[in-house]
Each structure stands twice: as structure tokens, then as C-alpha cells.
Amino acid sequence: MVALARAPRRQPQAEVSDFESDVVEGLRAMPKHVPAKYFYDGAGSQLFERITDLPEYYPTRCELRILRDRAGDIAKLIPAGAALVEFGSGSSKKARIMLAAAPKLAAYVPVDICGEMIEQEAADLRPDFPGLKVLPVTADITQAFALPAPAKAAPARVGFFPGSTIGNFEPHEAAAFLRNAANILGAGAALIVGADLIKPVEVLNAAYNDAAGVTAKFNLNLLVRINRELGGTFKLDSFEHHAFYNRERSRIEMHLASLKRQKVKVAGDIFEFRAGETIHTENSYKYSIESLSALARGVGWRPAGVWSDPRNYFSIQAFRLGE
Ligand code: AVJ
């Protein structure tokens, strides 16, 4: 690292991270909540990778099957020389399928809040796709961010948002995301989105209450992270994983329920919990093909293709910008 003598310096003590302010604000609120994007520290990202292998967790397998079976068709949306911009990339497993199916791609831009993960992913990808520029960007995909110059200079940009991450947003936030993606990708863009579909409630509930307890561990890891990074005093054995499908709102809700009346300290503040009170840690919205395309149309995207698995558990939906 090179220290620049005249660079303006900020006071480290005066700086409150987004994580700290979001957690403190969320724990002060009624009902208590913490944004789901904070699950993904190093341990959380690894736990999520384990979730994707669970027998009950169908979304990843369904999506991979659709991608493998239909990659050739989906790749027709990607013009020669284009840049593929992946929002919230995590592991590159799905991108690899698209990259192999679209050999004329000029650049791949994985964008993720977890910088460690995408740098590693980029290093793993480069030798396998020697002609491709792999240009990771560490950013929060809910905010505007700048694309690297070669991606800006490409004749077109295609967004890739697999994994049903869109389900973590409130519907109005999903619309805002789709609008932000349109602005970032620009004229002539296409967007490929993976979305989990509405299905029987038993299947949904099982996927978020696995027998091995990995999802519970993933949920509780948020408290581990708060304890470590924000000086929290959460006792892991006095909170419990709750996950259930909310039919009215077409979403899985995940909560951490306090098993007793207790006080917890976080970032110097004290938060009180009633017995049974929960921290709402995640919503995972389930869409129909029509409900997602309606949302996308509302912000200027035109439907350009839909692919799903034989049971219609999961969908990949494509959109284009313009008339
Ligand atoms: C990564 C948001 C798609 O909602 O299914 C998995 C996260 N949470 N198990 C999902 C998650 C609990 C996952 N997404």
C-alpha cells in the first residue's frame, strides 16, 4: 500500500459504517429488522453455498438445470462484443454456464458486496476464459455504481441477476433495482433474471427449514457478525431460527426469535427483547411469471423470453430495453 501524504484523512472514530447504522436503526424499530444483505460476510457466504446443496433447497438446482438446458437459447440475447454484468455474483457457477454459451462476450463484470469473494472468483475464472476481460466491481447492487471502462465501451451490456436475489427486495425496491439496472446498463441492454416461483407451501417451508439446520446457522450467523463487528452481546442459544411462508404477501419470512426476555448491547446501545419478539432478517418474495414481467414493464423493460423447469419451481426471465 502506498500512503499519499496529502490525501485528506477522515477520523476513523467519527465514521459509522452502513452496517452499524442499519443494524442500530433496525433494532430500534418496531418490529425489529436487519437488512438481508448483511448475511453475506465470509462465513455467511460459505453457509449460503452449503444451503444451495441441501436436498430441501430446490432453487439453485432448478436454476442450474434451466441454465444448462437452455443456455444456448438464453445466450441469443447477448450480442457479439457485449459485456455481461452480474449483479450480486457470489460464486461464479451460473456465470460460467453463460460465459461458455456466449463465446463472443468481450467482458464479464461480477458485482458483489463481498469483495473477497469476487476477487477470488475472478482469479479462478481468468485461466478458463483467456479471451475474456474479467473485471470485478465491489459494490452494493442497490446503489448506482460505475462500470469499468471496457464494459462502458462495449457495444451493449447484458445484465445477469440469477439466484432469485430479486426476491430479497420489497416489490417497490425490486422495481427500483430494475430501473437502476436499466440506467447502469444503458441503451440496447438486455437483462436476464432468475426468480423463484409461487408453489405449494410445504415445498417452500421445507426449503427454509432444512433438517440439517444449515439455514438456521446462516440466520444466526448474522448475530455472530454483529457481535464481532459491532461489539454485540447476543447469546446465540437464546435466539431461534424461524422461517415460514406468508401467503398474503407471497414471501418466505425469516426471523430470529428471542427465547426469553433479555437485553442485548450493540455498538454501545442497549436493546430490549420481549420473550418471543423477533428480528425480521429476510423476506424472499416468490413471483409468478406475470407478476415479475408486470414489475419490469413498469420501469421500461420489455419481456424477451421465459424459461422454467418441468415442475415450474423456478424461472429465468429475460427483458430488453426500448420500445
Ligand atoms: C439468495 C436470496 C435467493 O431467498 O432463497 C436461502 C437466501 N435465505 N435460505 C433465498 C436464503 C435462506 C436466498 N437468496
Q: Is 267 left (phi over 0), alpha (psi -120 to 50) or beta?
A: left
Q: What does the pLDDT read at residue 99?
A: 97
pLDDT of residue 5: 40
Q: Assess whether pLDDT exceeds 90 at residue 67.
A: yes
pLDDT in tens, 9-19: 444 444 688 99
Atom of ligand 1 nearest to the CA of 168: 2
C-alpha cell at 157: 451490456
Of 7-21, 219-233, 262-276, minimum mean pLDDT range: 7-21
Q: Whose CA is nearest to atom 5 of ligand 1?
A: 284
> Of the given ranges (11-20, 62-71, 225-234, 236-245), which has the lowest mean pLDDT?
11-20
Q: Average the pLDDT over 111-122 and give the result.
A: 86
CA 51 distance to own-chain centroid: 14
User: Which bin fits 312, alpha (ψ -120 to 50), beta or left (φ > 0)?
Assistant: left
Per-residue pLDDT tens over the stretch 132-152 = 999 999 998 988 999 999 999
The yes-or-no verdict on residue 116 having pLDDT over 90 is no
227-250 mean pLDDT: 98
In order of 50, 84, 118, 186, 249, the CA distances from 154 in angstroms are 36, 10, 21, 11, 40
Question: 3-state class of 69 per DSSP?
Answer: helix
> pLDDT per residue over 149-193, tens digit each?
999 999 999 999 999 999 999 999 999 999 999 999 999 999 999
Q: Does the structure show a pLDDT above 70 at 4?
A: no
Q: Is 251 helix (H, G, I), strand (E, B) or coil?
A: strand
Nearest CA, atom 14, ligand 1: 165
**CB distance 85 to 185 below 8 Å:** yes
pLDDT attached to residue 323? 56
DSSP letters of 145-204?
-PPPHHHHHSS-EEEEE-TTGGGGS-HHHHHHHHHHHHHHH-TT-EEEEEEEBP--HHHH
Instruction: Tell me the best of 242, 282, 285 to mutate to test the pocket of ligand 1, counting ligand atoms within 8 Å of each CB and taking the most.
Output: 282
Share of the chain above pLDDT 70, in %: 95
pLDDT of residue 6: 43
Q: How far apart are CA 128 and CA 123, in angstroms?
A: 10
Instruction: Report d(CA 273, CA 270) in Å as an integer.
Output: 10
Whether 235 shows a pLDDT value over 90: the answer reads yes
What is the model's pLDDT at position 313? 98
Q: What angle do CA 70, 73, 74 make, to 5 degrees?
A: 85
Q: Work out the pLDDT band at 7, boundaries 50, 70, 90.
A: very low
| Mean pLDDT, the chain, integer | 93
Query: Is the CB of 168 within 6 Å of ligand 1?
Result: yes
Query: CA–CA distance from 3 to each of 6, 7, 12 (Å)?
Result: 9, 8, 16
Whether the pLDDT of residue 262 is over 80: the answer is yes
Tell me how far apart the alpha carbons of residues 151 and 109 are, in angstroms, rounded to a whole number: 8
Quick one: average pLDDT of 76-94? 91
CA of 48 to the centre of ligand 1 (A): 8
What pLDDT shows up at residue 142?
A: 87
Q: Please name every residue paired with 194 in a beta bridge, in sequence order, or none if there are none.
A: 316
C-beta separation of 176 from 182 below 8 A: no
CA 70 – ligand 1 centroid, Å:
23
